[in-house]
């Protein structure tokens, strides 16, 4: 099967094609197909989101691709910490009550992460205007879109080692954003003020915003410019970084062009998620 992840930014669409199709070896088909990235491409934005996505869908949908899409924007989320005794129906009712109480520009979804010390009810909102743009392209092309995700969740699927506590650092116009994750739950988000806060202080600030205690074993996914990477170097060395090299490319598609690019990694992560599920 073939899977396509698409990351939509203001000026480009990043596309990653991933396959888990079996290959012929010594006249026999391998029993477990390897997951490989077979293509990484970037397309300039030329029109509305719906029109640009429509063009990508039209080119690929007849080839049997399964799609996942994410648009880069500010995450809109809420976390409710509940005792371990809370039952799943209670948590679902709590989430639905929260969603029903909202009358704004977002469409909400939720998930429950159960743990021995308590449960996390994670509720995330996607902008209705953004979803309308996506849905126009999907309906016009009848494309098989399995998931519309929120930013920067797909980067967690590049974390194939499933480090429990991860801090993602992304940068936009010199501004560094930090995202604290516990598996697939986004616990906290903040913006680093380099004028008043050291990297170590920012990490502690981010950890303090979590609604529940998190593991002290933190790993980083750092998408930083050389200028900011130098400032974070000692912290990254102390805590370590997630190894994403286990994701295999064919035909040397992973070049220096895509190193340290969160938008392409998100596209890969989106496609890799479905390839791993169906492998």
Supply 23's token pair. 């290959």
pTM for the structure as a whole: 0.88
Supply 128's token pair. 């209705």
Q: Strands 66-71 and 2-8, how do they pair?
A: parallel
Q: Are 92 and 106 in contact (CB under 8 A)?
A: no
Measured in residues, the chain has a length of: 279
Integer Rg of the chain from CA: 20
pLDDT tens-digit readout, 127-180: 999 999 999 999 999 999 999 999 999 999 888 666 678 999 999 989 999 999
Task: Specify the residue for token string 């190894």.
Answer: 243
Which stretches of the chain drop beneath a pLDDT of 50? 23-31
Q: Strands 66-71 and 145-149, how do they pair?
A: parallel
The pLDDT score that the predictor gives to residue 164 is 76
pLDDT tens-digit readout, 54-79: 999 999 877 889 999 999 998 899 99
The pLDDT score that the predictor gives to residue 169 is 97
**Which burial class, exposed, middle or buried, applies to 129 when counting CB atoms under 10 A from its CB (0-12, 13-18, 19+)?**
exposed
Tell me the C-alpha distance between 18 and 6, whole Å.
Answer: 12
């Amino acid at each position: 099967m073939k899977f396509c992840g698409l990351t939509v930014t203001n000026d480009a669409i990043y596309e990653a094609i991933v396959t888990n199709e079996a290959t012929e070896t010594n006249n026999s088909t391998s029993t477990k197909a390897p997951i490989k990235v077979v293509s990484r491409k970037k397309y300039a934005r030329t029109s509305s989101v719906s029109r640009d996505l429509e063009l990508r869908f039209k080119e690929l949908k007849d080839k049997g691709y399964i799609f996942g899409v994410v648009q880069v924007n500010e995450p809109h989320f809420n976390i409710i910490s509940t005792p371990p005794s809370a039952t799943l129906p209670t948590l679902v009712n709590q989430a639905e009550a929260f969603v029903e109480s909202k009358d704004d520009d977002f469409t909400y979804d939720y998930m429950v992460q159960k743990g021995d010390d308590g449960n996390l009810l994670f509720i995330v909102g996607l902008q209705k205007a953004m979803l309308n743009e996506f849905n126009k392209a999907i309906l016009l092309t009848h494309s098989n879109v399995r998931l519309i995700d929120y930013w920067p969740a797909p980067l967690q699927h590049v974390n194939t080692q499933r480090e429990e506590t991860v801090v993602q650092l992304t940068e936009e116009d010199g501004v560094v954003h930090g995202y604290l994750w516990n598996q697939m739950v986004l616990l906290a988000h903040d913006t680093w003020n380099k004028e008043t806060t050291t990297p170590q202080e920012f990490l502690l600030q981010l950890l303090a915003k979590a609604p529940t205690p998190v593991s002290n074993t933190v790993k980083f996914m750092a998408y930083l410019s050389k200028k900011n990477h130098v400032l974070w170097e000692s912290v990254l060395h102390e805590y370590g970084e997630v190894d994403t090299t286990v994701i295999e490319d064919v035909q040397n598609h992973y070049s220096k062009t895509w190193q340290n690019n969160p938008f392409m990694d998100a596209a890969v992560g989106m496609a890799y998620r479905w390839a791993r599920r169906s492998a």
